[in-house]
Amino acid sequence: MQIPAEFESMRSLEDDEVRGAVLTLLDDPEFQKVIKGIVKGVPIWAHKLYTRRFKTVNSFQKGMIYPFLRKILKRASTGFTYDFSAVPQGREDFIYLSNHRDIVLDSAFLDYILLLSGQKSVEIGIGNNLLIRPWIETMVRLNRSFIVNRSATATELLESSRQLSRYIRFVIEEKNSPVWLAQREGRAKDSDDRTQKSVLKMLAMSGPDEMPLSERLQSLHIAPLTISYEYDPCDWLKAQEFQLKRDNPDYVKSEQADLDNMKTGIFGFKGHIHYHVSAPVDAEIAALDPSVPRNRFLDQVAGIIDRHIFRGYRIYPCNRIALDMLKGDDSQAVFYTPAEKEAFEKYISDQLSRVTIQNPDPDYLRERMLTMYANPLINHLNAL
């Protein structure tokens, strides 16, 4: 397929580029260290020999990403389930618009599900702020990622957003491939997952000039995806960052902190993981009044998506325990046992002991962590 030249710097890699990209990775000294840390005792020449069979993106993902994800699920989770029953069969032209739990694994586990089902893996929007090493950019583009320009200046932002919108529409309409996007820029550190209107504005920037706003969004077939983790391995890092920003409004996370978050998110313990997809919201968008002001219309679309995400949460005992601990009551106690509460209290204590900042505020950090676990339940109950 001929890909327009305007997408060259941002697009994912195609099948005929896989072999060259893999060899570039294996020649990179930093990536070699990563590989040696994961697969101990295997020399790089053996990896090069093994990867000769990778002739397509799917074969690369099944040969390299699959085994890695299986190891993660075995070592860092107690189970992985999913429900895609609401997605129309025989079609793949969706935008999976999801809440955001992990920088790397959110889309990787979605690919894992789709490839297991014999479907195309998703093209993934990833911010260029995360591409802090050359090998990371090669790796993510090889894994069907396209680059979202998070460093655009105010004057560049409009055209950058239009280009991104055009590329997503190209993938959906011309390549007939699915796309994964987070509902917001960056993770909601308090797990209060809300769709940013700016994401919908960006998506609506492409399409024929005469196409109404409602039809532009309907034509992209947005399917809300809910990602539920029983435990967030980065919860203590997020709480720590909350205090750093509270104490210093000018605090900016370092590259090393980003890497630490990425590593902790991938390898840290997650408990049970569940993915739930709702049907595309085309009909619900079509039912809205198109004559209302544009911003109000987009707010209503965001509300539709959020309700589906909230309803799709898998609620765990820790969510209910956290809400009771925050409120100081036992309104949810019928759903958990004293042993489960004791285990969660110990978990919170253990995670807080990992905080490394100077002058930690234990009460504040504890409240932040409990809020992270309570918010999915609060939003779930409100959506029902």
Q: Is the pLDDT of residue 4 over 80?
A: yes
For the beta carbon of residue 14, count every other beta carbon within 10 angstroms. Answer: 12
Q: Is the pLDDT of residue 45 over 80?
A: no
pLDDT value of residue 32: 84
The structure tokens 């958990």 sit at 336
pLDDT value of residue 78: 97
Q: CA-based angle 188:190:193, to the nearest 5?
A: 45
Residues 205 and 162 sit within 8 Å (Cβ to Cβ):
yes
Q: How confident is the model at residue 205 (pLDDT cuts 50, 70, 90)?
A: very high
Q: State the SS3 of 177-232.
A: CCEEEECCCCCCCCCCCCCCHHHHHHHCCCCCCCCCHHHHHHCCCEEEEEEEECCC
Q: Is the pTM of this model over 0.95?
A: no
3-state secondary structure of 233: coil
Model confidence over 309-368: pLDDT tens digits? 999 999 999 999 999 999 999 999 999 999 999 999 999 999 999 999 999 999 999 999
pLDDT value of residue 76: 95
Dihedral sign for Cα 89, 92, 95, 100, please.
positive
Burial of 147 (0-12, 13-18, 19+ CB in 10 A): buried
Least confident of 5-14, 34-43, 177-186, 306-315: 34-43
DSSP 8-state symbol, 82: E
Residues 88 and 279 sit within 8 Å (Cβ to Cβ):
yes
Q: Is the pLDDT of residue 36 over 80?
A: no
Integer Cα distance of 269 and 383 in angstroms: 28
Considering only CA atoms, which of 352, 101, 383 is closest in space to residue 230? Answer: 101
The 10 Å CB-count burial string (b at 16+, else e) for 281-295 is bbebbeebeeeeeee
The 10 Å CB-count burial string (b at 16+, else e) for 35-48 is beeeeeeeeeeebe
pLDDT value of residue 274: 97
Integer Cα distance of 250 and 248 in angstroms: 5
Residues 225 and 275 sit within 8 Å (Cβ to Cβ):
yes
Model confidence over 234-280: pLDDT tens digits? 999 999 999 999 999 999 888 788 888 888 999 999 999 999 999 99
The mean predicted confidence, pLDDT, of the chain is 91
Q: Which residues sit opposite 276 in a β-bridge? A: 83, 226
Q: Is the pLDDT of residue 38 over 80?
A: no
pLDDT value of residue 62: 85
pLDDT cut 90: percent of the chain above it: 62
Instruction: Catalogue all structural domains in the chain, each as residue range(s) with its CATH number.
Output: 5-232+270-313 (3.40.1130), 234-267+315-384 (no CATH)
pLDDT value of residue 331: 96
3-state secondary structure of 4: coil
pLDDT value of residue 299: 97
pLDDT value of residue 152: 76
pLDDT value of residue 379: 96
Q: Is the pLDDT of residue 40 over 80?
A: no
pLDDT value of residue 90: 84
Q: Is the pLDDT of residue 222 over 80?
A: yes
- More reliable by pLDDT, 149 or 230: 230
Burial of 62 (0-12, 13-18, 19+ CB in 10 A): middle
Least confident of 110-119, 121-130, 189-198: 121-130
Backbone angles phi, psi at 233, to 5 degrees: -65, -20
Q: Is the pLDDT of residue 291 over 90?
A: yes
